[in-house]
Chain A
Amino acid sequence: MSDTAPRTILKLPKVLDLNAAGRLHEQVLAHRGGDIEIDASDVGRVGAQCIQVLLSAVVSWRAEGLRFSVVDASESFVKTLKLLGISDEALLPKEMLK
């Protein structure tokens, strides 16, 4: 399934705070049904609510056999995930979490 579905790259903005959570949710929902890659290279600040959106998306995508991956996470993004105790390998490659 994932081989045939269109792959989308969604570039995350620099600031993913409370105000960004709703928009991120909409953006992610808009790409429902296909594999998606999240470009987190620019992320300078990310809050817990945006992480919630991303993690929920991971679970939902995974449930449908689709790919949802973060391809180029910034240090801030990785550190925040670690700080929050999030270590879902689907969200970040395992090596990035070490």
Chain B
Amino acid sequence: MDMNEIREIFFQECEEQLAELESGLLRLRDGDTDPETVNAVFRAVHSIKGGAGAFGLDDLVAFAHIFETALDCVRSSKFAASADLLNVLLKSADALADLTSAARDGGSVDPSRTSELEEALKAFASGQPRLVTGSQDMVHGTAPVTPEPADEPEFEPVPFSFDDFEEAESNASAAKPSGRNLFTVCFKPRSDLYAKGNEAVLLLRDLAKLGDLEVHCETDTLPGIEQLDAEAAYFSWRIRVETEHDEDAIRQVFEFAEWDCTLDVTPGYTDAASAEEIAVAGKAGPSTPFDLSLLDENPADAPVMARQDPADSPPAVADEQPEAIGQEAPKAAAEPAHLSTVAKALAAELAKKEMTVAAVPAAPQTIRVDLERVDRLINLVGELVINQSMLAQSVSDSHTGGTSALNVGLDELQQLTREIQDSVMAIRAQPVKPVFQRMGRIVRETADMTGKSVRLITEGENTEIDKTVIDKLAEPLTHLIRNAIDHGLEKPETRQAAGKNPEGRLSLTAKHRSGRIVIEIADDGAGINRDRVRDKAVEKGLIAADAKLSDEEIYNLIFHPGFSTAEHLTDISGRGVGMDVVKRSIQSLGGRLSINSTPGAGSVFTMSLPLTLAVLDGMVVTVAGQTLVVPLTAIIETLQPCQKDIHAFGTSHRLVAIRDTFCPLVDVGHILDFRSDLTDPVDGVVLLVESEGGGQRALMVDAIQGQRQVVIKSLETNYRHVPGIAAATILGDGRVALILDVDAIVMASRGHSLGAEMTLAATG
């Protein structure tokens, strides 16, 4: 595996982490208080940062680091994840996604955008979240490195006895060398920390290498000896650190233990804040000033604690270290005598990392496969289905009836073929979740641009769709969502005046229905103004002024190229992309789009997509000597009408009585121009079908040959688009059969010519 492949895997993983990040943030916004959600969000950013560091993606690392620091404040309950903070975090997640894309594709991200977010994140991380007055307002200004405790209004003093500590602090403060930073570290390990081979002693020792410590151990949770679990973690620590290093250096000490402990690093030193952070009440033991000489190790005992007498120790190096060496230089590096110590420390660190890695539970076994390979496999399975069908046809045509063994073998072959096909299709099936998650960002951005307040609700995210469809879903969904926010939802003040929640609701739902995938985009806005749409259509000459149109037909007018009822073109609606393009892209997936709207209550755009693009169950019928395939999912029932059931309607229309209702009769052969005259329904068979728009039609065909699984071959790719025909297939006898587009036929039966309907839907 070369470096490019590894890099590619990293970016693929980044996508997963970004999805995890956004979904976690959205859960937090929705009131999820599970600490694991915060941890998951933190881990996602941390993983991206780690990988980006390995590939030298500095911009990504820098932003991820600041992002991570702010998230850590939420994780350690420094402050609650307020709506303002989550707004910034979500925008930061978007920026992180853009930085990742830029790192992968070589683009760039507007530095002003990231710097604005960085400042906002830093402000939170510094404990001075001065945001936010509006959804788009960010904090400007840089957080102080060492804010004075007295300047931190967030930390209300609470009654807490730390007499010894206060004394120690005042002493320490008096002796505090200028230019050194003061931090409070609250550290509470979980049992996992020890189980994974980390040791609080080693962490504290590493921390002590950064500067002077005052360590207070909280032991109140320690049970009696009988109740004690020897492998549990009861101690927690509050440590005053005085150091020349920055907060990052302190956090790095805990880097490989951070999943298994609660860590809070606060600039400055405040008893009240610390008490709050450590979240334990009760008495506190005396603090223990820590002497640097305790760090000296006896090489023979490494990495055990030092045995050396403090009196014999070499002088502590930290205070003598020239400042010019900078924070990156290890203190011991200045003295050759300490090199072995440093080497050992690194070795110990490495050992800790390895142990941590080893303790991580194994991930589910998955492999990444190039989509082309899967496509090739699917094509082969398609050929297998056709061959199996041809074989069955040959046996049938031989009129021998075949031997019993041959028929059993053919049945088994058919069953196996179907199982193989199902399994292969399952490989390509993916949940729609990633696409839905991407829509969250579209909603945020569009809401910002339009000044509207929108809440996106997603349902059925785990509904699986063919990978090919998923990849092509994003574009039409984006347009529909932008359209719903820009045109559908009212401004907050308008909504309020109408007695609605100022925050608009946009729901995105995916579900399986009748062997298809149905995706709904519903808003609770004002609904489509039918009169306005109609007037506009008359004005544009699309319909006659006296035309009688059903609601569905009026709604469908908005799919006409260039049709817009908007008074002014906005940034959103003026993109030159109309609903016609949306409909066309959905049709190119073998899908359909329909609209339902209620004035004042909102609109629902329903996208119906085939479950798979490769194979469908169809009914093979003959019409005017041609063989056609009607998708089984569209057929409700089949029947042979009697003469008494047929009723004339107008001059050229006929209805068929089916139980208590009348259903328009559609001669498929006539509508497809296979024949000029209408045939007598009594001579044929009727397929009762339901279109996506909800209307039922009785499609008249000459005869039914049987039900069969067919492999879909794109007509557009191999020939060209044919009105009324969805695709083609190869039958068992080797002939090409056309697959009927039931919706187009139903639409055409409503008075539009088939060509006109398709032009309305498919031209740009």
Residues of A within 8 A of B (CB): 15, 17-18, 21-22, 24-25, 28-29, 32, 44-49, 51-53, 55-57, 59-61, 63, 74-77, 79-80, 82-88, 97
Known: A24-B230, A75-B308. A85 touches B215 (CB 8 A): yes
Q: A49-B230, A80-B201, A84-B204 are in contact. Are A44 and B288 (CB under 8 A)?
A: no
Please provide the chain B residues from 295 to 313 with a CB less than 8 Å away from any CB of chain A in the complex.
301, 303-309
19 contacts between A and B (CB under 8 A): A18-B194, A18-B197, A21-B231, A29-B226, A48-B199, A48-B200, A48-B233, A49-B231, A52-B230, A52-B232, A52-B234, A56-B224, A60-B225, A75-B306, A75-B309, A79-B305, A79-B306, A80-B201, A84-B217
* A residues near B234, Cβ cutoff 8 Å: 52, 56
**Residue of A47, A49, A74 with most chain B CB atoms under a 10 A cut-off:** A49
| Chain B residues near A55 (CB-CB < 8 A) | 219, 222
Q: Which residue of A lies closest to B309 (CB)?
A: A75
Complex interface: chain A residues within 8 A of B285 (CB): 85-88
Closest to A29 in B: B225
**In the assembled complex, which residues on chain A have CB atoms less than 8 Å from the CB atom of B189?**
48
- Which residues of chain B are within 8 angstroms of A86 by Cβ–Cβ distance? 217, 219, 285, 288
Q: List chain B residues, Cβ under 8 A from A87.
A: 285-286, 288
Name the residue on B nearest A25 (C-beta): B230
Judge whether A74 and B228 touch: CB under 8 Å. Answer: no
**Do the beta carbons of A82 and B307 come within 8 Å of each other?**
no
Q: If the complex has contacts A46-B201, A52-B234, are A25 and B287 also in contact, measured as CB distance less than 8 A? A: no
**B287 adjacent to A56 (CB under 8 Å):** no
Nearest 6 pairs of A and B residues by beta carbon = A85-B215, A45-B304, A85-B217, A25-B230, A48-B200, A76-B305
* Residue in B197, B200, B224 whose beta carbon sits within 8 Å of that of A59 in the complex: B224
Over the window 196-235 of chain B, the binary record of Cβ atoms lying under 8 Å from chain A Cβ atoms (1 yes, 0 no) is 0101110011001000000111010011111010111111
The answer to whether B307 touches A83 (Cβ under 8 A) is: no
Q: Does B195 make an interface contact (CB < 8 A)?
A: yes
- Nearest residue (CB) in A for B305 is A76
Q: A26 to chain B: closest CB distance in Å?
A: 8
Q: Are B294 and A79 in contact (CB-based, < 8 A)? A: yes
Residues on B with beta carbons closer than 8 Å to the beta carbon of A77: 305
A96 to chain B, nearest CB (A): 13
Q: Are B235 and A21 in contact (CB under 8 A)?
A: no
Seed contacts A52-B234, A83-B208; 16 additional CB < 8 Å A-B pairs: A15-B304, A44-B305, A57-B225, A60-B224, A60-B226, A63-B224, A76-B306, A77-B305, A79-B294, A80-B201, A83-B294, A84-B201, A85-B215, A85-B285, A85-B288, A86-B288
CA distance A24 to B208 in the complex (A): 28
Contacts of B674 in A (CB 8 A): none
Q: Are A76 and B304 in contact (CB under 8 A)?
A: yes
The verdict on B162 contacting chain A, using a C-beta distance below 8 Å, is no
* Residue of B with least CB distance to A18: B194
Are A48 and B194 in contact, with the CB atoms below 8 A? Answer: yes
Distance in Å: Cβ of B148 to nearest Cβ of chain A:
25
Chain B residues with CB under 8 A of A29: 225-226
Would you call A48 and B235 a contact (CB within 8 A)? Answer: yes
Residue in contact with B223 in the complex, picked from A15, A22, A56, A83, CB distance below 8 Å: A56
B 27-44 contacts with A by CB, 8 A: none
Contact partners of A83 in chain B: CB under 8 A: 201, 204-205, 208, 215, 290, 294, 305
Q: Specify the chain B residue showing the minimal Cβ separation from A58.
A: B225
Asked whether A82 and B288 contact (CB < 8 A) given A25-B230, A49-B194, the answer is: yes
Docked Cα-Cα span, A56 to B237, in Å, equals 17
Majority secondary structure of chain B interface residues (helix, strand, loop or mixed)? loop
Whole-angstrom distance between the alpha carbons of A51 and B217 in the complex? Answer: 12
Task: Tell whether, in the assembled complex, residue B200 and residue A84 are in contact, meaning their CB atoms are under 8 Å apart.
Answer: yes
A-chain residues with CB within 8 Å of residue B201 when the two chains form the complex: 46-48, 80, 83-84
Quick one: closest B residue to A81, CB to CB? B288
When C-beta atoms are compared, the residue in chain A nearest to B218 turns out to be: A85
A86 vs B234: C-alpha distance when bound (angstroms): 13
Contact string against A for B residues 175-190, beta-carbon threshold 8 Å, 1 for contact and 0 otherwise = 0000000000000010
Chain A residues positioned under 8 Å from B223 (CB to CB): 56
Task: Tell me the minimal C-beta distance from A29 to chain B in angstroms.
Answer: 6
In the assembled complex, how far is the CB of residue A72 from the closest CB belonging to chain B, in whole angstroms? 14
* A32-B197 Cα distance, complex, nearest whole Å: 30
Do the beta carbons of A84 and B215 come within 8 Å of each other? yes
Residue of B whose beta carbon sits closest to that of A50: B230
Contact B228 A52 (CB under 8 A): yes
Q: Is the CB of B200 within 8 A of A75?
A: no
Closest to A22 in B: B230
CB distance from A82 to the nearest CB of B (A): 5
Q: Which of A18, A45, A88 contacts B305 (CB 8 A)?
A: A45
B3 to chain A, nearest CB (A): 38
Do B204 and A53 touch (CB < 8 A)?
no
B216 touches A85 (CB 8 A): yes
| Neighbouring A residues of B216 by C-beta, 8 Å | 85
Shortest CB distance B352–A (Å): 13
Please tell me which one of the listed residues A18, A74, A85 contacts residue B307 in the complex, with CB atoms under 8 A apart.
A74
With the chains together, A52 CA to B301 CA distance in Å? 22
A85 to B203, CA, bound (A): 13
Contact assessment for B225 and A28 in the assembled complex, using a CB-CB cutoff below 8 Å: yes
Q: Is the CB of A17 within 8 A of B305?
A: no
Our pick among B195, B287, B301 for the contact of A85 (Cβ within 8 Å) is B287
B200 touches A44 (CB 8 A): no
Residues of A close to B215: CB separation below 8 A: 82-85
Q: How far is the CB of B165 from chain A (nearest CB, A)?
A: 11
A22 touches B225 (CB 8 A): no
Contact check, B222 vs A56: say whether CB atoms are below 8 A apart. Answer: yes
Q: Which residues of A contact B200 (CB under 8 A)?
A: 47-48, 84
Chain B residues near A48 (CB, 8 Å)?
189, 194, 199-201, 233, 235
Residues of B503-519 at the interface with A, using a CB-CB cut-off of 8 Å, are none
Expressed in whole angstroms, the Cα–Cα distance for A63 and B223 within the complex equals 12
Report the Cα distance A17→B351, complex, angstroms.
15
